[in-house]
Every structure is written in structure tokens, then in C-alpha cells.
Amino acid sequence: MAPLKLPRGPVAALRGVPKSSLLGCYAESPRASFWGATRGPQKLAFGVLRGVHKSLLLGCYACAQWRLALGPLVTVFRYPLVLSSFSRRLIRWYRAQGRALPWRRTSDPYAIWLSEIMLQQTQVATVIPYYNRFLSRFPSVQSLASASLHQVLKHWEGLGYYARCRHMHLAAKEMVHRFRGRIPRRMEDLCSLPGIGRSTAGAILSIAFNAPHPILDGNVRRILCRYFAIEKPPKTVEAALWNHSKELLPKKDVGVYTQAIMDFGATLCSKKPLCHICPVQSGCLGYQRGVQTHLPISPVRKTIPHYDYVAGVARAGSLVAIRCRPEKGLLGGLWEFPCERVDDQQRADLIRVISVSVKAHTGYRPYQITPMMVIDHAFTHFRMTLHVFACKIRARGVPHSTSNVEWVEATRLSWYPFSSAHKKIARVLTRPLVQTRPKAPL
């Protein structure tokens, strides 16, 4: 910054003061940033100013004193400008460089709702094929509501976090029942539906209807913690983060801004921020303090437990036993091969455990049990090793199905929605049959 024309008094008073003291004064001054954040720029200032002639430092120092006096006023007037420039710059960046994603090309609130739900905890690249398939099979609230949970889960199979899918299905039914099959436009109505929280509702309302509602998903939390240099775990400052998210909202183009900040968090201000090309770098307090890569502060991670499970592929001829999990709870509504968690004592004799388990689930005790495969799988809150055994059953005629266990042809396993681990077993069972299928004549 060019030194101001100096008032004579302070300059005269400072003559004879060693340069190092002036550097100190300079660093303590609010010159570096109107926020008062001097730690990062302070280092820079020392580096840059070493070797600068003292008269120039006197200029800076005097300038700093003026700023110190005017500081509060400057802050009051500049703060709204900085906030509005955040949204303005993000929108400009997004219009020039934002990603062209399928759900960005639509203003259909149903499609936007679907994308918001699928994107929770899941990468964009994983979501795109699921989004396209799901939307072409269930193109509206009505079509989703009238489908069975089995059909809906089949289109979600492999995407994980199946509670999202069950909640969407329930919410679609409620929309048909309470809102004539339309996505409600009021925040309270949206938030009253299963699986829709304040942030998801804010995203739907702002993107689809350009309504001024803030969002606070994982990406936005990270950006805000860095931009405002919040050195506390986000969960402990939730209310403050909502306030920041609200005050950054632009007066117009809210929908574009919402998409911009989500895209910005996923691409530039991601886990490893690309600050050198960031459009809002000049106002970022975390960057100025040099702490952006340490933010947001993560809560202390609990150690993830590991459990052993056994699964029995009970077969009677070409029939295989599968069971449907209860609708509520982990992997609710999905199908699996009868399986059981084993404790430390049982681990020594897995064959006995699987024999008892298959008998309990199907009513038939296997006469032959052989190890088939071992699958390692990680859930959010635990890891699992699944020991899979092939179990042969002898039954007179077709084995009996029970309320939640069905005997199905192995070739039809692909009709059922399985969790990822059990899908691997199903693939092994269907693969040889698929491979040996004769080719159609040319």
C-alpha cells in the first residue's frame, strides 16, 4: 500500500525510534486486515518490510494509526460489503466455472429433492447414474408414491444409506396424501416430511423456487468455518453457522448462489482447499490467519468397532433361501442370506453357529456345510467380516417359505434389492448360470 501523506506530528515523534519497533507497531496495527486478523499477514509484513526504508515505515505506521482510529467505523461500513461480495463473487465464479451436473439443468422441485437426498454422504460421480436411472423410472412424486418399497429399493441398491430411500418413499406418499402430490413451498411443511431437514428444505426451496433460505450441509459448514476462522467443532457452533449462512445470502439469484456454494465446497474449498484460485480469498479469515487447512475442527473420532458375522447360503436344488430385513433399522427392507453376528466364544466354531442359524431361519438343518467366501465391509459406525457358508438342505418338494424367508430360484436373485455385502454373494450364485446361457442365434 502506498504510504499516505504523513501528518507531521507522529512522524516527528517517531524519529529516532529503531526500525524494529516500527515493524512491531506495524504488525500490531489493523493495517493488514480490517478484520483485525494480523497473524498471517503479520509474518508477511515482516518479511516484505525488512529492508524497506524507515521513512516508508513511518508512513505505514502513521497510516495504521489513522486506520486504528477509524477502524470500528470502517468495519461497520465494510462488513455488509464483504458479505455481499462473497455471494457476488461465488455466483460469478459458478457461472463461469461451475460443473454442469444433471440436476443443475432443471427447476423441477421433485428432481432437485431427489438430487439433494442422493447427494447426502455420497460423491457426485457415484450419484449421477443412480439419479438418471431413478428419475427415468420414477419421474414424479406420484410414480414414486405408487411404487412398492421393494421396487424403490431395487433402484437405490448399492447407493447405501438406505434410510434415505425409505424416507423418500414415505415422504412421497405423504405429499400425495397431504399436498396433492406437489412438493410443498413452505419451510414448515417440507420439514414435517420424513427425511427432510432444514438444510435439505432450504436447498429445495432456494433452487426450485428462488426463495431466500440458507443451507448448512457438510460443504457449507466447512466453508463457513474457514471463511470466518471458527476454531471450534461445527456441531458446537451450529446456531452461529446458520446465522453466517443466512447473512451471506444474496438479495437475488438465491437459487444460483445455493448451487454455487455447494459446488464451491465440493471443488475449491474442499478437504484440501485450492486457496490460490479461490474467488473469495481476499475476505477469508482462515486464509489470512493461515489456519484454513486445520478447519473445520473435527470432533475426537471414536474407534470404529469390528464384528464378525456368518451367513448361510441355504440351497435345496436350484432354490436358495433369502430373507427380508425388518423395514425399520439398519438396511431395512433389503434382502439378505440368513446371517448372524457371532461373539468371541462362537468364533471358534462357526460351522455350528451357521447350522443353528440356518435351522432357526428356514426350519431346515443343513446336512452339508462348506466355506464359500469371506467378505469385509465397512459401515459408517462399524466394520464387518462376513464368513459365508454354502449349506445344503434336504426337503421333500418345495421348501416352505416363512413370513420373512423366501425360497427363490438362484437365477432370480437379481430381482431382489440386496445390501452391498450380500449382493456379492448373489453375484457369485448367478454368475455361472449367466455365463453358460446359450447365445441367441444370429
306: enclosing H helix or E strand: strand 306-316
Minimum distance from residue 295 beta carbon to ligand SF4 (Å): 8
Q: Given the rule CB under 6 A, which of 2-10, 58-66, 177-185, 282-290 is the region that contacts ligand SF4? A: 282-290
Q: Given the rule CB under 6 A, which of 4-12, 25-33, 223-231, 236-244 is the region that contacts ligand SF4? A: 223-231
Active-site entry in 28, 116, 174, 231: 116
Amino acid, single-letter form, for residue 382: F
Amino acid, single-letter form, for residue 111: A
Minimum distance from residue 215 beta carbon to ligand SF4 (Å): 16
Which residues does 120 contact at the CB level (< 8 Å), separation at least 6?
Answer: 161, 164, 200, 217
273 binds ligand SF4 (CB under 6 A): yes
Burial 60-95 (b: 16+ CB within 10 A, else e): bbbbbeeeeeebeeeeeeeeeebbeebbbbbbebbe
Minimum distance from residue 284 beta carbon to ligand SF4 (Å): 3
Among 61, 162, 287, 416, contact with ligand SF4 (rule: CB under 6 A): 287
- The Cα–Cα gap between 390 and 392 comes to 7
Minimum distance from residue 97 beta carbon to ligand SF4 (Å): 13
40 binds ligand SF4 (CB under 6 A): no
245 binds ligand SF4 (CB under 6 A): no
Is 157 labeled as catalytic in the residue annotation?
A: no
Which residues does 232 contact at the CB level (< 8 Å), separation at least 6?
Answer: 297
410: left (phi over 0), alpha (psi -120 to 50) or beta: alpha
Minimum distance from residue 233 beta carbon to ligand SF4 (Å): 17
- Site track for ligand SF4 across 253-272, x = CB under 6 A: ---------------xx---
Q: Given the rule CB under 6 A, which of 161-169, 219-227, 326-334, 405-413 is the region that contacts ligand SF4? A: 219-227
Q: Given the rule CB under 6 A, which of 73-81, 209-217, 285-293, 400-408 is the region that contacts ligand SF4? A: 285-293
Q: Which is nearer to ligand SF4, 111 or 224 (CB)?
A: 224
DSSP β-ladder status, 319-324 and 368-378: unpaired
Residue identified by cell 458479505 is: 83
93 binds ligand SF4 (CB under 6 A): no
Q: Which is nearer to ligand SF4, 110 or 287 (CB)?
A: 287
Q: Is 329 helix (H, G, I), strand (E, B) or coil?
A: coil
Among 249, 254, 284, 320, contact with ligand SF4 (rule: CB under 6 A): 284
Minimum distance from residue 297 beta carbon to ligand SF4 (Å): 14
Among 149, 275, 297, 351, contact with ligand SF4 (rule: CB under 6 A): 275
Q: Given the rule CB under 6 A, which of 167-175, 286-294, 316-324, 369-377 is the region that contacts ligand SF4? A: 286-294
- Count CA atoms within 13 Å of residue 140 on its CB side: 7
Q: Which is nearer to ligand SF4, 29 or 87 (CB)?
A: 87
Question: What's the helix, strand, coil split of the chain in %, to 5?
Answer: 55, 10, 35
Q: Which is nearer to ligand SF4, 127 or 249 (CB)?
A: 249
Say which DSSP state 304 is in.
P
Which residues does 153 contact at the CB level (< 8 Å), separation at least 6?
Answer: 162, 165, 166, 333, 334, 417
Q: Which is nearer to ligand SF4, 273 or 338 (CB)?
A: 273
Total residues at interface with ligand SF4 (CB under 6 A): 15
Minimum distance from residue 42 beta carbon to ligand SF4 (Å): 18
Residue identified by cell 438465491 is: 254
Q: Which is nearer to ligand SF4, 214 or 273 (CB)?
A: 273
Among 60, 118, 261, 278, contact with ligand SF4 (rule: CB under 6 A): 278
Q: Which is nearer to ligand SF4, 172 or 278 (CB)?
A: 278
281 binds ligand SF4 (CB under 6 A): yes
Specify whether the CB–CB gap between 251 and 83 falls below 8 A. no
CA 404 to chain centre: 33
Specify whether the CB–CB gap between 250 and 87 falls below 8 A. yes
Q: Which is nearer to ligand SF4, 52 or 275 (CB)?
A: 275
335 binds ligand SF4 (CB under 6 A): no
Closest CA to 86 of 289, 216, 271, 250: 250
Q: Is 418 helix (H, G, I), strand (E, B) or coil?
A: strand
Beta-sheet strands, E only, within 124-163:
none
- Active-site residues: which are they? 116
Residues that bind ligand SF4 (CB under 6 A): 223, 226-227, 268-269, 273-275, 278, 280-281, 284, 286-287, 292
